[in-house]
Structure 1
Amino acid sequence: MEALTNGPTLVIDGCAVATVDAAGTEYRSGHAVVHGTRIGAVGPGPAPVRDVPRIDGRGCLLTPGLVNTHHHLYQWITRGLAADNTLFEWLTTLYPIWVGIDEEALRVAATGALSALARTGCTTTSDHHYVFPRAGGDLLGAEISAAAEVGLRFHPCRGSMDLGASSGGLPPDDVVEPLDAILAASVDAITRWHDPSFDSMLRIALAPCSPFSVTGDLMRQSAVLAREYGVGLHTHLAETVDELDFCAATFGCTPAEYMEQLGWLGPDVWFAHAVHLDDAAITSIARSRTGVAHCPTSNGRLGAGIARTAALLVAGAPVGLGVDGAASNESSSMIEEPRNALLYARAVGGPRSMSVRTALELATIGGARVLGREAEIGSIAPGKLADLALWRLDGPAHAGIDDPVAALILGSPPPLAAVIVNGREVVRDNEVRTVDERAVGLRVARAQRDLVAKAR
């Protein structure tokens, strides 16, 4: 970690603290001190600092900010559609609507989705944007602008599809791109925006969409390109039984075996969903330190199945959590994901298959590890970046629950006293302070109506 170069700028005092550090350090009453963009100190009792702005944390629990490892921000303006369909049915219903996405619609959708994430304790989010209509404009730039306005740490993935319906893929031809154009756009995204610095607010990854919407050539060449430029790789994998059947019929193997053939295993890769993995897949993913973005709420919403999260953790695979696209998880609430991960794991594996603290780890340091940022975010420790969530647990819904971590994970989503990203307050007293939420809501409603009307 880099050394601190400035003095205290904010104190959070009097709160319970779950640091989620390697030792699992917690304080029933403690403090954290922020120095600019970094955490300067954390410990028990009152902060030994005076004459510094402070947040009264009494009745609250301080945790690291939550890390969202998989999302589709553009879907914020297509929520509630195809609500009772399977994944493939859902996609074929929504693709004709998504063809109408343009730069302004995406900026509105992303602002709404990112504001919602901030209100649920999220400080870092990835996004997998793979729909690039020909007349859409600068779509990746639009969501990057939205993330800067809302104030979240952002890992946008330049997604892609080159296997349209006429060639045996699932997406309509209107939203697929030629291979050369995808590779050129990928290089442009990296050179324009990727920031590898310690305190980076913006990092790019490359993300061909899925085995049923991209060619093997695109997967291979994207991997070569990403490794040449030192950026991450991301894709959907093994989300549904339909995908298993598609890979068996098309490639003669499982989705995980197909990824290994393409060179898509390693610590620079993370897979979204990974629901339908056999023992061999879990072993290869763990051995290669490939990450998994577990999306329990979306998997339940689409009836995709229950991921073998406990088995992945036992094997040593990096696992984080994701809300997935808002059209398959209308709440897109990051704090609901650790609770649902725990409940799903226990439903199939018994009460000891996941603890409340493991669930919190998945949402924090687990996600940081998946995104390659465990040295910078995901736990509360001196020298790490000041990404923090302060949860109010003294209201009637949580008062009397003795263990604050259990209250956070098992109780209803609590209000936020504050969310701090890179040392800056983004949420205070359960309100996003960086944007006008009411105005954003009105713009979202209008964008949704306009987009759906285009498809009629």
Structure 2
Amino acid sequence: MSTLLIKNISQLVTCDDSDRVLTQVDILCKDGFIEKLGPNLDATADRTIDGSHMLCYPGLVNTHHHLYQVFSRNLAKVQNMELFDWLKTLYEIWKNLDSDVIRLSSLTGMGELMKHGCTTCFDHHYVFPAHAGDLLGTQFAAADELGIRMYCSRGSMDLSVKDGGLPPDSVVQTVEEIMKDSARVIEQYHDPSYGAMHRVALAPCSPFSVSADLLRESAILARQYGVRLHTHLCETKDEENFMLQREGVRPLEYMERLGWIGKDVWYAHGIHFNDEELHVLAKTGTGVAHCPISNMKLSSGIARIPEMLKLGVPVGLAVDGSASNDGSSLMEELRVAFLLHRLNSSREAPTGYDILKMATRGSARLLGRDDIGQIAVGKCADLFMIDSRRLELVGSCYDPKSVLGTVGVRGPVDYTVVNGKVTVEHGRLTTIDEEEIAFQANRKCDAYLAM
């Protein structure tokens, strides 16, 4: 049994059903869950933290990432490319992935996420070079080393350049190979229990790099095992034109024909849905992971988030891959999302608090979880705290619900707690030597990019 007591929190934003802001309250965490919440709790714990002057929030939940891309960010040759050319160029790097790249990029990317208040990471990994080893096992081990809650995906591609797709032959597999390994990964790593630290989804890469058979078989297998489905969809106009030429239908109709719609499905990006398609998403409960910084960098467009939220489409927030974001801070994503939609939609834009709810409750909903994304008794003890006395926050904390979107937070948070354990303290990761990991990661990145 492990216990953590946080005393006298100045302002606590619960993101619960009542949208409460609590003042001068304590939280008692026991064995990874919130056991008590209220003022002046009569309790003792293995560790006590003084929450005076702290703003406290539910841990942020990242719903789409490609952690391996940490080792291919900020490359000059791709900075002005759009998605298809960008992918074709970077696949020539990504085909050289190995377990060391996966471990160190995962530690780096998830470490950055956690330093900025993220407590759950979903990663969409779909590049599996032959003989690279158990890459998802490597990711889960890295997550355990950091202490972050991890949701991996068994991604896949079966259409290479010779088949009309984008990736090289060396990173695609047959449908049979993919289905066999997908079943193995689910059976070995997926934990459906409440409060699970490890879960698995099935996530073929995108309609333009996988076959209809792969999409259809993945949906069947996922529902046999009760796991979720994820892929990229409607990210660019090029994708839309590609699908119209190849299949004669728009991307969403194509996916719907193959069983890819419903409450167990969420798409990354979802920029180019039309009015009718937004209503289909809302009616079926099919979700969208919003990746504003990536969409801006690749000139992909602006997702219709205000309309999605009004219609009731499930929407979460995500950083996307580090090669299309150049970072792994969901905190930064939160403010950019707020500002982007204010610019594009004016009074119709979501508020700063709406964006916070998107990054917490909304993201948890996409992942099919009701145990994270809010601070309430019985929920997972996942949260972060920021000292309200910071110079850059002077005069801005009168509305703690919106401040992360409107003002934002520069630099790491003061504390991150995952599963009732302190994983970031005074802005530093507690479970790894940051300088040593950075040294190892830079050395591996140099060798990887030189291949």
Q: TM-score range by the shorter chain?
A: over 0.9
1:192-271 matches, within 5 Å, as: 192-271=188-267
Tell me the CA shift for residue 8 of structure 1: 5.3
Match of 2:440 among 430, 440, 443: 443
Structure 1 pair 352/46, CA: closer, same or farther in 2 (3 Å)? farther
Match of 1:381 among 373, 376, 383: 376
Tell me the CA shift for residue 52 of structure 1: 5.9
1:135 is aligned to 2:156: no
1:34 is aligned to 2:29: yes
Distance in 1, Cα, partners of 2:293 & 2:107: 21
Q: Which amino acid aligns with 2:448?
A: L
Contact 1:397 1:412 in 2 (8 A): no
Q: Give deviations 1:41-66, integer Å, cap 9, x for gaps.
A: 223x4444356632112222111000
Contact 1:15 1:59 in 2 (8 A): yes
Contact 2:266 2:288 in 1 (8 A): yes
Q: Give deviations 1:379-428, integer Å, cap 9, x for gaps.
A: 01100110011122211100211222333222242442211111111101
Distance in 2, Cα, partners of 1:392 & 1:294: 28
Distance in 2, Cα, partners of 1:52 & 1:445: 37
Contact 1:15 1:31 in 2 (8 A): no
**Residue in structure 1 matched with residue 43 of structure 2 by the alignment:** 49
**Residue in structure 2 matched with residue 14 of structure 1 by the alignment:** 9
Contact 1:40 1:383 in 2 (8 A): yes
Contact 1:393 1:407 in 2 (8 A): no
Distance in 2, Cα, partners of 1:226 & 1:56: 44
Distance in 2, Cα, partners of 1:300 & 1:424: 35
Distance in 2, Cα, partners of 1:51 & 1:427: 19
Q: Which amino acid aligns with 1:190?
A: I
Match of 2:74 among 62, 77, 80: 80
Structure 2: any 5+ residue segments left out of the alignment?
A: none
SS in 2 for 1:203: strand
**Residue in structure 2 matched with residue 417 of structure 1 by the alignment:** 414
**Residue in structure 1 matched with residue 330 of structure 2 by the alignment:** 334
Distance in 1, Cα, partners of 2:111 & 2:13: 24
Q: State TM-score, norm by structure 2.
A: 0.96
Match of 2:103 among 100, 103, 107: 107
Q: Which runs of 4+ in 1 moved over 4 A?
A: none
The count of aligned residue pairs is 447
Q: Which amino acid aligns with 2:197?
A: M
1:426 is aligned to 2:426: no
Contact 2:3 2:420 in 1 (8 A): no
**Residue in structure 2 matched with residue 3 of structure 1 by the alignment:** none
Which has the higher mean CA deviation after the structures are superposed, 15-24 or 332-341?
332-341
Q: Which amino acid aligns with 2:341?
A: A
Tell me the CA shift for residue 30 of structure 1: 2.5
Q: Give deviations 1:73-120, integer Å, cap 9, x for gaps.
A: 111111112122111111111000001001111111111111111111
Distance in 2, Cα, partners of 1:388 & 1:61: 11
Structure 1 pair 417/167, CA: closer, same or farther in 2 (3 Å)? same
Match of 1:300 among 254, 278, 296: 296
Contact 2:4 2:45 in 1 (8 A): no
Q: Give deviations 1:167-189, integer Å, cap 9, x for gaps.
A: 11111111111110000010010
Distance in 1, Cα, partners of 2:2 & 2:146: 26
1:396 is aligned to 2:391: yes
SS in 1 for 2:24: strand
Q: State TM-score, norm by structure 1.
A: 0.95
